[in-house]
Structure formats: structure tokens, C-alpha cells
Amino acid sequence: MKRRAFLTTSGATLLAGCSGSPTEPAEDIDRQTTQTTDIQTQTKTTQADVDTAKVVIDDAKWKSEGESVEFLIGNNGEGMSGHVTVVARWYDSAGRYIGHDQASIPALHSGASWKIEVNTTSPFSVNNFDAYVEYEDRYISDELNAWSVEIDESIPAITGIVDHGRDDETAVDVLATTYDSGWITHVGTTVDTRIPDREWRFMIPLVKISDISKQVGENVELMFHTA
């Protein structure tokens, strides 16, 4: 189900900061050595079994007044979200709407935070803004056995091996999210629709989506979906 949460105040007024520290995901992947990551056995998760997310805008303020806004997005729900998009709407000094810009990530873990800067592309002078976040309130995934998960900072990318345990010509897509002390730093996805009934060695290119850290976060979460 798609949901929307609005910024409670707009413009130059600052919101209250994020309370407490972000929660780190459970998996800790060593970037130097090969490490086995057991993601339990293959079980299909149904939509009714999944806890729901509650994504909110914890903070929003001008990074450079009239040019860019810095957002702090948090997931206060019990479950991982699906796709998350923060939308900033721009207004001139007379209160006229003059355009919008946005940023997205494929998912946000329960208890995690995403810090992102949204720059205006409006051709007019921006005096004020408001904002909202749209998100899917749950992420449906399959639990698969993955191992030899490594971070390659030079690309950057994540590599690993997974056994899908399904029939020939199985489709698997993988979502990777990296965290630094609970703050999301990079995301990436990959998909193959014709995997035979054997182990799949995969590589997931990563995209930096936060200024929290220059490096790829050491904590990695992999989410799999089969079809």
C-alpha cells in the first residue's frame, strides 16, 4: 500500500531533530575478508506476514537558502518499507508554486535514517518550500542462503553468491542497502531472469545517496525476491 506523509511546517522554519540514534541493521559484513552470510532457509513471505513501515520527515531545513534543502527521513515502523520518494515543492515570494524536485531510494529499514539534499531546478527565485514523502508501507521478500558477501570500494559494488533453491530459469532480483552506524549510505539493485538451478554469483553496483559518509557503509542488508 502506498502512503504519504507531509512535512508539518514549511519554509525556513526548522523542524525538531531526530530523537535518539538510528538503529543499525543486524548484518555486519567485513570489507576485507570473505564472510558467509546465512539468511535462513528459503521461505516465502506473504504480505499478511510482513510488518508495516511508517516513514516520516524527521527534519527539513535550508542547506543553501533558496537553492537546496536538507532532509532527514526516518522509518519509525516495525517493518521495512518499499520505494521511498521525498518531494520538495517550491514557491516564490508571492506564494506561487514554481516547481518541484525529488529524490528516491528503493527501501528503508525499520529504525534507519536517510539524510539527503534536494536541490531546486526551478527557473525562478525560490522563497519557500513544503514537502512530503511517499512510500510503500512494506517490502515483500524471500529468505535465501547467501554467502561470500564482499564490498568492493573501487567500483563501488557488492558481490556474493546465493542459492535460490528453485527450478531452472528462475528470476531473482536483489536489493542491497549499506549503512554506517544506522545511516543509509548506498543502495543498489540487480536482477537476472534466467538463472539455472544452481548457485548464482552476483554483483550489485552501488549508488551513493547520502552525504553521511564518503565510504560505503560497513553494514550490508540484502533483500531477495524470486519469481
Nine-digit cell string for 27: 548484518
Domains of the chain: 2-13+50-136 (2.60.40.3230), 142-226 (2.60.40)
pLDDT in tens, 148-193: 999 999 999 999 999 988 878 899 999 999 988 878 889 999 999 9
Question: Which residues fall within 8 angstroms of residue 45, CB to CB, at 6 or more apart?
Answer: 140, 141, 142, 143
Q: Percent of the chain having pLDDT more than 70?
A: 78
Reference 58, options 138, 135, 133, 137; nearest CA is: 133
**Cis (ω within 30 of 0) for the bond into 156?**
yes
- pTM (predicted TM-score): 0.70
10 Å Cβ neighbour count for 218?
A: 18
